[in-house]
Amino acid sequence: MSTLQHDPDDRVQVLDEDGEVVGDVPDLSEDDLVGMYRHMRLARHFDQRAVSLQRQGRMGTYPPLSGQEGAQIGSVYALEEDDWMFPSYREHGGALVRGVGLKQTLLYWMGHEEGNKIPAEANVFPVAVPIATQIPHATGAAWASRLQGEAKAFICYFGDGATSEGDFHEGLNFAGVFDAPAVFFCNNNQWAISVPRERQTASETIAQKAGAYGIEGVQVDGMDPLAVYKVTKQAVEKAKNPGEDELRPTLIEAVQYRFGAHTTADDPTVYRDDDEVERWKAKDPIPRLEAYLRGEGILDDERVDEITEEVEGAVADAIKEAEAVTRPEPEEIFAHVFADMPEHVREQRDAFEALREKYGDEAFLRE
């Protein structure tokens, strides 16, 4: 029986909190296993540095991802080259694996328009800040792909809070009705800013909501990267190649926790206590995978040290590059509103440039 046919109340797990094997280990090469570990370490280190950049006033508000690396990295590793990713605003780790570099992510949170420009080779949609709005987009793209006779999967990420929005319902409902090859990946990190999961829905699990759309739902330990990989892989395969009488879409509920604040503007001590945070930290996906890989003889101290050094270098380089980018020109405000710049927008741009010429930049910049 496919893992996806589990009772949605029954959480899929491969590694327990100590990295001991408790379920069928998915088929992954040593390279991929080390790659997953390395990417999780990279995401964690990036996150820590990004929070400190914000604290130092070198970056604006930033949404941390620590604790959620297992869900992000485990799931994107299950995608194939041609598949697509529709993120929310917290999936910098997954986006990195899919070709959106760290510099790009830094620029976005540093307020540069350029940070929103996804590299041409990456099948990734832009960050979606308005909650749940990306869900119908993923359904639509997946549906279009099926209509065009392709065999690709479209994975869409969103939080537990997002499941309360109408767009969640509409996106999943359309996916069921039009059999869109989509994988809806809910990062249930227990909190929507200060609002706990129980306040979003009276249903036992989020995964069980799939039943109402006639699609499969599965709950997975989102801090177990191998379990996440396993269920996502099956969902991706089913999206492309459903069995007889099977619909393509799946809803995955990855149960996890955000270790840090909602964003750097948030103070989580107001609404949750340290004990809770500590309990979840015991499930940290990184030491868990590391323990497993060491036990299998795939990682040792030397390899871990190498990875640490590599990861620190990569993040330091990205920060240096992003900070070397100077303030964009006002021209950027007016560009790309339409394919062709309308006359009145051109006039507004020119009038502003004339003022800037006359009074100098200082007249317009605060600080």
Using alpha carbons, list the distances in angstroms from residue 162 to 130, 131, 193, 293.
9, 6, 11, 34
Distance separating alpha carbons of residues 280 and 275, to the nearest angstrom: 9
Q: Which of residues 179-218 bind Mg ion (CB under 5 A)?
A: 189, 192
Catalytic residue (one of 271, 327, 336, 359): 271
DSSP string across 52-83: HHHHTTSS------TT-HHHHHHHHTTS-TT-
Distance separating alpha carbons of residues 255 and 218, to the nearest angstrom: 11
Other Cβ atoms less than 10 A from the Cβ of 164: the count is 17
Q: In this complex, which beta carbon is closest to another protein, that of residue 303 or of residue 356? A: 356
Q: Which of residues 340-359 bind another protein (CB under 8 A)?
A: 342, 344-345, 348-349, 352, 355-356, 358-359
Respond yes or no: is residue 271 known to be catalytic: yes
Q: Contact between 191 and ligand TPP (CB under 6 A)?
A: yes
DSSP string across 2-15: -GGGS-TTSEE-SB
Binding mask 136-165 for Mg ion (x = CB under 5 A): -----------------------xx-----
Q: Which residue has the tokens 């089913």?
A: 238
Q: Contact between 72 and ligand TPP (CB under 6 A)?
A: no
Respond yes or no: is residue 45 known to be catalytic: no
Q: Contact between 287 and another protein (CB under 8 A)?
A: no
Interface with another protein (CB under 8 A), residue from 30, 150, 330, 350: 330
Catalytic residue (one of 6, 90, 112, 258): 258
Q: Cα-flanking dihedrals φ and ψ of residue 296, to 5°?
A: -85, 0
DSSP state of 259: -
Respond yes or no: is residue 349 known to be catalytic: no
Q: Contact between 131 and another protein (CB under 8 A)?
A: yes
Backbone CA torsion sign across 135, 130, 127, 308: negative
Other Cβ atoms less than 10 A from the Cβ of 281: the count is 15
Q: Which of residues 44-83 bind another protein (CB under 8 A)?
A: 60-61
Q: Using CB under 5 A as the criterion, which residues of the chain lie in contact with Mg ion when the complex forms?
A: 159-160, 189, 192
- Binding region for another protein (CB under 8 A): 60-61, 89, 108-113, 115-116, 127, 129-131, 161-162, 164-167, 192-195, 199-201, 265-266, 270-271, 327-328, 330, 332-334, 337, 342, 344-345, 348-349, 352, 355-356, 358-359, 363-366
For binding to ligand TPP (CB under 6 A), which residues are involved? 90, 129-131, 159-162, 187, 189, 191-193, 262
